[in-house]
Amino acid sequence: MHEVVILGAGMSGLAMAVGLKAAGRHDFVIVEQSAGLGGTWWDNRYPGAHVDVPAPLYSFSFAPNPHWSRRFASAAEIQAYMQRVAETHGVLAHCRFGRRLVDARFDAGTGRWRLQTDRGDLFVARHFVCSTGPLSVPRWPSIEGLEGFAGARLHSARWDATVPLAGKRVAVIGTGSTASQLLAPVAREAAQVSLFQRTANWVLPRLDRRYGAPDALLARLPPWAAAVRAFWYHVLEWGRRGFDEGSAARRAMQRAALAHLHRQVREPSLRARLTPAYPLGCKRIIYANDYFPAIAQPHVELVTEAIERATPGGLVTADGRERAFDVLVCATGFDVQHSVTLPITGTGGRTLAEAWAAGPEAHLGLAVAGFPNLWLMLGPNTATGHTSTLLFVEPGVRFVLRAMAERERRGVRWLAVREGVMRRFNDELAGRLAGSVWSACRSWYRAPDGRITAIWPGFTREYVRRVQAQGRAEAFARDYEFG
C-alpha cells in the first residue's frame, strides 16, 4: 500500500520523486524494469550517444550541474548526473529495479490503483504516475526476413557492446538523430559501412565545446549558472521560430544548414542525395559535426534505394542488389504511438489502448478522461522539436502535486479530467497543428492517420502558463469530476 506508484525511473520519474519528497510526501515507490536509474539514458548506450540540447538546459532547475565535461553531454554523463540527484534527494530507497508492471487497474470502489508486476508483487496506490515517456519502446524496422538474418542485429536503444564491429561489414538502417550520433564511431571501427537512408535530414552544426576548469568554477556560482541556463533557453526559443513559415529564424536556419552541407560534402551527387526535400522542422533537426564527414569516407556508402527484404547474409534493395553484412544496426527510433504498452484499465473496464485506438491523446499531456488519479509525464503532445523536455516535465510535476492536494482538500477518493474538456483541448491542438510544418511530411510526430500526436504547437512559456492555470482550485472545479 502506497500513496503513489511511479512507473519509470527516467528523467520525468526522477523529477516526480524529488517533487513528492519536497512536498513532504514520502509514501511512494518507483517501479523500473531496468536494473538501474536513467530511463532512456540507461537504455541508450550506443557509441556516441549524447543529448542534442545544451547540457545546462538539460538539467533540472532545482539541481544545476557544475560537472558537465562539455556543452552537449554524453549519455553516460547524464546517467551519472541523474544518479547524483537521486542520491542527494534520497530517491534510491524508493526504487524497485528489475520489476516490470504487467497490469494496472483502477478500483472505483476504493479509489485506488491495483498494479501487478511480473514478479507477482501487488502495489495498491491512490495515485499512479506513468512516466515511461515517449522514447521508451524500441521500434524495429518492418523488413521482410529480418528475423532470419544470420549475423548480429543491434537496436540503438538495446545496444550490445559485446558484439564486435572491428573489421566487420555493417549496415546502419535509419538516418535520424541516433544514426547521426553513432555513424562516425561505428565507421571508425568497421571495415565497411552502408547507411540506408529513406529521407535526407536537415543538419545544423552542433555548437559543442569542452568545458574547462574556469567553466566548472563559474558553474558553481548560482547567478552564473542561472544566466547560462537562461541564455540557452532564449536561444532555443528563438530557434522555435524557425518552424514558422516566413520567419527570419527560419531563413537563417535554412541558410546555416545548407552552408553546413556544402562545406562538409564536396561531391555534388552525394550532396544532392543528402539535401532534404521537405520543410525544415517537419522532422526533428539533427545537430552534428561528424555526420556528413563520416558519410563522405571511402569505406562508407550512402544507400537511398528502399530495402526490399533481408536474407541470412545481408539486405536486398529495390534495385535487386544484395549487399552482404555481418552486423545490422537498427537506428529506427521508438514506437511513440504505443509508448505505453502496459494494460491500463480505467473506469467502466475501458483500457487505455481502447481509449487511444485512434492515437494517444490527453489533456495538457497529463490526464486522460476515464482514468482517475492517473498522471502522465511527457504524455501526448508534449514533445518539442527545439528545446529541453525538462522544461515540460517540471511544470507537469507541480501540476500533479496540486492535483493530489486538491483531492485531499475536497476529501474525495479520486479526480479525473472531464471528457469534454479533453476533447476541446485536443480539437484546439488539431486545429493549430493542421497546416503546420509538422503536417508536411511523415515523422514520429504523427499517428498513422496523419494526426500529430506528439508535438506541442507553441512555445514553452505557453505550455507552462496553461499548466499553471490548470492547477488552480477554480480550474479543477470547472474541468474535473470527483468521486
For the chain, the structural domain boundaries read 2-137+335-482, 148-330
- pLDDT at position 138 is 78
pLDDT digits (tens, 9 = 90+) for 151-177: 999 999 889 999 999 999 999 999 999
Are 203 and 210 spatial neighbours (Cβ–Cβ below 8 Å)?
no
- What the block records as the C-alpha cell of 177 is 538523430
- pLDDT at position 436 is 94
Length of the chain: 483
pLDDT digits (tens, 9 = 90+) for 36-49: 999 999 989 999 99
172's CB contacts (< 8 A; 6+ apart) are 179, 182, 183, 186, 193, 194, 195, 196, 329, 331
- pLDDT at position 447 is 82
Q: Which of 383, 141, 377 is nearest to 243 (CA)?
A: 383
pLDDT digits (tens, 9 = 90+) for 420-479: 999 999 999 999 999 899 998 888 888 878 899 999 999 999 999 999 999 999 999 999
- pLDDT at position 136 is 59
Lowest mean pLDDT among 20-34, 130-144, 209-223, 309-323: 130-144
Instruction: Report DSSP state, residue 192.
Output: E
- pLDDT at position 137 is 75
pLDDT digits (tens, 9 = 90+) for 240-265: 999 999 999 999 999 999 999 999 99
pLDDT digits (tens, 9 = 90+) for 57-110: 999 999 999 999 999 999 999 999 999 999 999 999 999 999 999 999 999 999
CA distance 453 to 368: 14
**pLDDT category of residue 54 using cuts at 50, 70 and 90:** very high
CA distance 158 to 423: 36
* Percent of residues, the chain, with pLDDT higher than 70: 98
Helices (H) and strands (E) in the chain, counts: 14, 20
**Cell numbers 545496444 correspond to what residue?**
159
CATH number of the domain located at residue range(s) 2-137+335-482 in this protein = 3.50.50.60
- pLDDT at position 251 is 96
| Predicted confidence (pLDDT) at residue 214 exceeds the cutoff of 80 | yes
Question: Terminus-to-terminus CA distance in the chain, angstroms?
Answer: 20
Q: What angle do CA 298, 206, 226 make, to 5 degrees?
A: 160
CA distance 206 to 203: 9
What is the torsional sign of CA 322, 327, 333, 335? positive
Q: How far is CA 469 from CA 232, 364, 479, in A?
A: 26, 11, 12
Whole-model pTM above 0.85?
yes
One-letter amino acid of 61: S
CA distance 378 to 469: 18
Average pLDDT over residues 115-136: 90
- pLDDT at position 226 is 96
pLDDT digits (tens, 9 = 90+) for 327-358: 999 998 766 655 577 899 999 999 999 999 98
Q: Which CATH superfamily is domain 148-330 in?
A: FAD/NAD(P)-binding domain (3.50.50.60)
Are 339 and 132 spatial neighbours (Cβ–Cβ below 8 Å)?
yes
